[in-house]
Structure 1
Amino acid sequence: MLLLITPAALLMALFQVLPIAIGANASFRDWALNNPKKTWVGLSHYIDVITDPAFLQVVLPNTFLFMAVSVAGALAIGLCLALVLNRGFRGQKLVQTMLLLPLMVAPVIAAIMMRWMFNDQFGIVNVVLEAIGIEGQPWMAQRWSAFGVILLTDIWLWTPWFMLLLLAGLQSLPKEPFEAAAIDGTTSWRVFRYLTLPMLRPVIVVCVVIRSIDAFRTFDIVWTLTGGGPARSTELFSLYAYVHAFLNLDFGKGSAAAIVGAVIILVVGLLLYRLMDRVMKV
């Protein structure tokens, strides 16, 4: 048995455990890529990160806001679509296939597409608005409009993922409780509230926790759409660590930021799992 898992264990050790160990070691050293002294500085980088006003006032609020809105939006829309597809209708397979198309689009490609659509000079969104008499907006030049485009892109990409998993969960539920409710003449809302939602709780909790952890480390669509701008106003945690490590060439501080983020998302993931488990039981 041990021989069978040895290749996978070696790959994980070389490409996951070892880089994490190197990054953790770098976070305690003066490790600038243009002048790698590698002198021990202890917790200095960690103190710089957790006391940085940009990190506390912009990066963390943006990251948690993005995580909450994107996960909640994709979950709500995905659940609605799953409920519709679970009923069955003519052309269901075709509609389901079309709804799954965003899963086949790379996030960077989707971000480029959205950036062109919301371009303030010749984007299709402003063209449509001006055609109906509404003045076009500089979407990517303002903080909240740019943040909204980021959220829209992420929700569009991840809604099919929620829909697919929730639809699988709905189709695995036992039929007897729903048949009994139909015989009793229970309304659709009460069936959803007291039967569907409680029985679907384990799937929803797992989906939300996994997606929240993934949303916390989102990098590609934000970097492609705004690069954290305008003026760092849409910067998320992953961009913060990237900028310090690979643009400012401060590998020590970038590694410290990554470790801080890992600790934060570990704590948030555990708390979120317990919170979701309690909320879904109410």
Structure 2
Amino acid sequence: MTRKPSRRRWFGEQQRFALMLIVPAAAILTFFQLIPIIMGTSASFRDWMLYNPKKTWVGLAQYEKVLTDPAFLTVVMPNTFLFMFCSVVISLVIGLALAVAMNRVFRGQKFVQTVLLLPLMVAPVIAAIMMRWIFNDQFGIVNVVLDAVGIGGLPWLVQRWTAFSVIVLTDIWLWAPWFTLLLLAGLQSLPREPFEAAQIDGTTRWRVFRYLTLPMLRPVIIVCIVIRAIDAFRTFDTVWALTGGGPARQTELFSLYAYEEAFVFLDFAKGTAAAMIGAVIILVAGLLLYRVLGHVREGS
């Protein structure tokens, strides 16, 4: 009596075990990210005020409202890109300088590394509140020092550009150690032979840094820029706790604009439309930066 061949199973034991590990994360991702994105996308095509349950379909009208909003075009987007550029570039320069300085043995090196990495342990909201007290125009320590040297204090958080400068300074203080940590790891992973050969030839430190360190560290730098630029574009907590977008919405960034339209002015459709526009901008910027990263890697 011939035995019928058993039906081939689609999943073996290892595949089933892998699925068991993936399913909880996939369920959380679906319920807390995918479904809200779908609901937000649907809401952006409707006339959806939070106090009005009608949710009338209006097509692309909400996107037109956002893209023709003078505040969005002349304040929010320039602020966002300027903040992203200043924060990333200055944090990168400071982080690279600190990483190069830390990439050598000296007395107290571990202690200095620990102190430099302390800002990474501070929540952005706590750092923003701390900076708000430090730059308070009445009793902040900065104005106390300026008054003591005869310069005179400034209303830091009342004027647009001084408040914007405090926001950028806070973000740099938070993220420069992050650049330092990653770049220091990159420096310590570089091969030692080219540097030893340059030292034998008597090459100056600047030429070693320019023609050896930077080219070999370039892929790590680009990865840091890509990750940090995308994260800086969606910054919310620091600005919200520090200035709330003020004075008169003059320091408002993209994420604050979407939040206020949806939950302060109760125009949920316009807020979600702004969020969708931001998602497209981040996607395009990420793809462009990724292509630059690919070309840099090939060149390296």
Please say whether Structure 1 and Structure 2 have the same fold, judged by a TM-score greater than 0.5.
Answer: yes
Deviation (angstroms), 1:275: 4.2
On the 8 A contact 2:223/2:293 being kept in 1, the answer is: no
Name the counterpart of 1:256.
Answer: 273
The question of 1:193 aligning with 2:210 is answered yes
Output the TM-score relative to the length of structure 2.
0.91
Does residue 148 of structure 2 align to residue 131 of structure 1?
A: yes
3-state secondary structure, aligned to 1:227: coil
**1:153 partner amino acid:** T
Moved more, 63-72 or 23-32: 23-32
Residue in 2 that maps onto 1:55: 72
CA contact (8 A) 1:245 1:252 kept: yes
Contact persistence 1:205–1:277 (CA under 8 A): no
Report the counterpart of residue 161 of structure 1 in structure 2. Answer: 178
Q: Is the 8 A contact 1:58 1:235 kept in 2?
A: yes
TM-score by length of 1: 0.97
**Structure 2 matches for 1:69-84, cutoff 5 A?**
69-84=86-101
Which amino acid in 2 is paired with 1:257?
A
Q: Which residue of 2 aligns with 1:32?
A: 49
Distance 1:275 1:230 in 2: 37
Residues 187 and 277 (structure 1 numbering): CA distance in 2 closer, same or farther, change over 3 Å? farther
Residue 211 of structure 1 and its aligned partner are, at CA, apart by 0.4
| The 10-residue stretch of structure 1 (7-16 or 203-212) with the greater mean CA deviation from structure 2 | 7-16
Separation of aligned partners in 1, 2:76 and 2:293: 24
Provide the identity percentage: 74
Aligned match of 1:88: 105
Shift of 1:214: 0.4
The partner residue of 1:141 within 137, 152, 158 is 158
Write the distance in 1 (CA, Å) between the matches of 2:79 and 2:101: 33
Taking the aligned partners of 1:175 and 1:146, their CA distance within structure 2 comes to 45
1:44 is matched with 61
Match of 1:267 in 2: 284
Is the CA contact (8 Å cut-off) linking 2:164 and 2:251 kept in structure 1? yes
Structure 1 residue 229 and structure 2 residue 246: aligned? yes
Deviation at 1:93, TM superposition (A): 0.3
Report the count of equivalent residues: 282
Shift in Å, 1:6: 1.4
Could you tell me which amino acid in structure 2 is paired with residue 151 of structure 1? V
Which letter does structure 1 place at the counterpart of 2:47? Answer: D
What residue in structure 2 maps to residue 6 of structure 1?
23
Give matches, 1:167-178, under 5 Å: 167-178=184-195
Q: How does 1:94-133 map to 2 (within 5 A)?
A: 94-133=111-150
In the alignment, does 2:264 pair up with 1:247? yes
The gaps in structure 1 that reach 5 residues or longer are none
**1:279 Cα shift?**
7.1
Q: Is the 8 A contact 1:32 1:252 kept in 2?
A: yes
Q: Tell me, yes or no, if structure 1 residue 21 matches structure 2 residue 38.
A: yes
Aligned to 2:8: none
Q: Which runs of 5+ in 2 are unaligned?
A: 1-17
* Partner residue in 2 for 1:65: 82
